[in-house]
């Protein structure tokens, strides 16, 4: 199990990484830091 912090999760690469981490059953927590809100 692990936790992840993403800086810049609203850009193209950050969105893909965020989606992969959310879908990973081994990831307990994802924290995203950015200037814009993360949209679904």
pLDDT digits (tens, 9 = 90+) for 1-40: 999 999 998 889 999 999 999 999 999 999 999 998 877 6
For the chain, the structural domain boundaries read 2-33
Q: What is the largest CA-CA distance in the chain?
A: 28
Which single residue is written with the structure tokens 């912090």? Answer: 5
Beta strands in the chain (DSSP E): 2-7, 27-33
Which single residue is written with the structure tokens 């609203």? Answer: 10
Query: Looking at residue 28, what is its pLDDT?
Result: 98
d(CA 32, CA 10): 9
């Amino acid at each position: 199990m692990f936790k992840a912090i993403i800086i810049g999760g609203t850009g193209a690469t950050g969105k893909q990484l965020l989606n992969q981490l959310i879908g990973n059953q081994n990831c307990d927590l994802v924290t995203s830091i950015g200037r814009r809100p993360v949209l679904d």
